[in-house]
Amino acid sequence: MRATVAAVDLGASSGRVLLGSVGDGKLHTEEVHRFPNGPVRLLGTLHWDVLALYREVLTGLRLAAELDSVGLDSIGIDSWAVDYGLLDARGALLGNPVHYRDSRTEGITPAEGLYELNGLQFQPFNTMFQLMAEPLLEHASQLLLIPDLLSYWLTGERGAEYTNATTTGLIDVRSGRWSPELTRDLPSGLLPDLRHPGDAAGTYEGVPVTAVGSHDTASAVVAVPASTERFAYISCGTWSLVGVELDSPVLTAESKAANFTNEGGVDGTIRYLRNVMGLWLLQESLRSWNTSLEPLLKEAEHAQGSVFDPNDPVFLPPGDMPARIQQWCGRTMTRPEIVRSVLDSLAIAHRDAVADAQRLSGKEVEVVHIVGGGSHNELLCQLTADACGLPVVAGPAEATALGNVLVQARAVGAVHGTLADLRKLVRESQPLRRYLPR
Ligand code: LFR
């Protein structure tokens, strides 16, 4: 059987809709729509323009349907994690969703004992902390994470997809269900029933909508083209999500101190990883300079960088990134030097996270896979291989959308098997590049 599915993948800086065709051991994808995404500051609060995103999703689905004359078999949606819309009792959206980089959670500190319950690294923007600063909560009857919200608008059906729900901080990492203890103070009924990747999630214009790993990182990890179990991944885009895939969570005090997270993955796996600030540092620098990356990258090859801690919270909010980097490094730098500093610092942060993931989980790796937009950045891939002392396999850049496509294709019966089988399809269909440590 062959299936044609539409994957909607929303990233912090752009969204896209891909048409994926899967069957007879083959995987083919085509991008049918791409659009920019970004925050909108409104009366001092940073928001997402969620209606504009929904309109672009509709445009993408229309283009996908036009291209596929036989008819779509399924639609799946993923996006960044943690952010949400609140609905009133009639199901109408209360207020515009707030961006996780908004300052409303600044200064928040986690309660004692949280890590043991939810297994999540501390990030001030995790949904549970946003809810502590949420003025609309008392008026809300339900919360939907961004992909679930868009899915609701398409289908009229509500649910909470599991992989993304684990990023809220409200899921018990052992049971995989909403934690009665962690959700005690929330309005009852706020959190919808969980659904899992592969579950049916309603229909849009007669086409089934399928739950995928709706946390973008969960979908990206599905499409890591690994040929061995001994691999680490770096899902490298606005963030670098660096870690390993495990069968069960690591909840030790050392793991907590190292700020490693245990997020829910597809097929009951655990995504054991650390958030590294990622290409956001470059994206914000380029925005300040109002310039493009390519020429600067060439010059950065020979520039002298300084190493800084990319995970310092000073780099989290939008704003003048070059100024913050130079301040951190205590010197004035040219643009190529700043770019080089970012890449050197990310490579070292990648190395540290790969080393910590192995040490804390006991899982040893022999290869590092870089997927996502960052896999196109040759200098970053080489510097990461050098720092890790391990071969790096780069690609696919659209891993998230591919993981989304593959989970749908499996749900409709066009492909069978485990994650290893899905990964084999990616390996055999996508151009990959290998970097050896120097
Ligand atoms: C990546 C990502 C990360 C999450 C961050 C905020 O796009 O989903 O996994 O930590 O965005 O949600």
Kindly indicate the confidence band of residue 69, based on its pLDDT and cuts at 50, 70 and 90.
confident
Q: Give the pair of three-digit tokens for residue 153.
A: 């608008």
- What's the pLDDT tens digit per position in 129-143? 999 999 999 999 999
Closest C-alpha to 375, from 318, 324, 319, 426: 426
Question: Which residue of 130, 233, 239 sits with most ligand 1 atoms within 8 Å of its CB, as the best mutation to test the pocket?
Answer: 239
Give 130 Cα–ligand 1 centroid separation in angstroms: 15
Q: Are 292 and 286 in contact (CB under 8 A)?
A: yes
* Residue positions annotated with a catalytic role: 216
Residue 235: strand pairing partners: 241, 371
Looking at domain 2-215, its CATH architecture is 2-Layer Sandwich (3.30)
Nearest by Cα to 151 from 50, 222, 72, 82:
50
pLDDT for 70: 82
- Ligand 1 atom, smallest distance to 275 CA: 10
Average pLDDT, stretch 432-438? 98
Query: 226-395 adopts what CATH topology?
Result: Nucleotidyltransferase; domain 5 (3.30.420)
- Compute the distance from residue 201 Cα to the ligand 1 centre, in Å: 23
C-alpha distances in angstroms, 424 versus 33, 235, 373, 431? 26, 18, 21, 13
- Start-to-end CA span in the chain (Å): 45
**Predicted confidence band of residue 68 (pLDDT cuts 50, 70, 90):** confident
Cα–Cα distance, 183 to 169 (Å, whole number): 10
**How far apart (Å, rounded) are the C-alpha atoms in residues 97 and 161?**
18
Closest CA to ligand 1's atom 9: 217
Tell me how far apart the alpha carbons of residues 268 and 222 are, in angstroms, rounded to a whole number: 12
* Per-residue model confidence as pLDDT tens digits over 203-215: 999 999 999 999 9
Question: Measured between alpha carbons, how far is 84 from 58 in angstroms, rounded to an integer?
Answer: 19
Is the CB of residue 89 less than 8 Å from the CB of residue 427?
A: no
* Domains 2-215 and 226-395 equal at CATH topology level: yes
How is the chain split into domains, by residue range? 2-215, 226-395
Identify the residue whose C-alpha is closest to ligand 1 atom 6. Answer: 81
- The answer to whether the peptide bond before residue 396 is cis (omega within 30 degrees of 0) is yes
* Interface ipTM above 0.90: yes
Bridge partners of 77, per DSSP, are 8
- Comparing CA positions, the residue from 400, 347, 394 lying closest to residue 374 is 394
What is the tens place of the pLDDT at every residue in 172-221?
A: 999 999 999 999 999 999 999 999 999 999 999 999 999 999 999 999 99
Which of the 8 DSSP states describes residue 147?
A: H
Could you report the per-residue pLDDT of 220-237, keeping only the tens digit for each? 999 999 999 999 999 999
The mean pLDDT value for 94-117 works out to 96
Instruction: Report the distance separating Cα 333 and Cα 3, nearest Å.
Output: 52
Q: Whose CA is nearest to atom 4 of ligand 1?
A: 81
Under DSSP, is residue 98 helix (H, G, I), strand (E, B) or coil? Answer: strand
Q: What average pLDDT does the segment 55-70 reach?
A: 94
How many Å lie between the centroid of ligand 1 and the Cα of residue 69?
A: 35
Distance CA 399, CA 407 (A): 12
**Share of residues in the chain with pLDDT > 70 (%):** 100
DSSP 267: G
Query: Which residue from 82, 262, 263 has its CB within 8 A of the most atoms of ligand 1, so it is best to mutate?
Result: 82
As a whole number of angstroms, the distance between CA 118 and CA 128 comes to: 11
Q: Output the residue whose Cα is nearest ligand 1's atom 11.
A: 80
Cα(334) to centroid of ligand 1, in Å? 30
Q: What is the pLDDT of residues 2-29, one digit of tens each?
A: 999 999 999 999 999 999 999 999 999 9
Six token digits for residue 132: 């502590």
CB 81 within 8 A of CB 164: yes
The residue to which tokens 């591919």 are assigned: 402
For the cut 90, the answer to whether the pLDDT of residue 171 exceeds it is yes
Lining residues, ligand 1, CB within 6 Å: 12, 80-82, 100, 215-217, 238-239, 241, 275
Sign of the four-CA dihedral 380, 383, 387, 390 = positive
Other Cβ atoms less than 10 A from the Cβ of 188: the count is: 8
Distance in Å, CA 241 to ligand 1 centroid: 8
Q: What is the mean pLDDT of the chain?
A: 97
- The predicted-structure confidence for 309-361, as pLDDT tens digits, reads as follows 999 999 999 999 999 999 999 999 999 999 999 999 999 999 999 999 999 99
Going by C-beta distance under 8 Å and a sequence separation of 6 or more, which residues neighbour residue 180? none
* Helix, strand, coil % over all residues of the chain, rounded to 5: 35, 25, 40
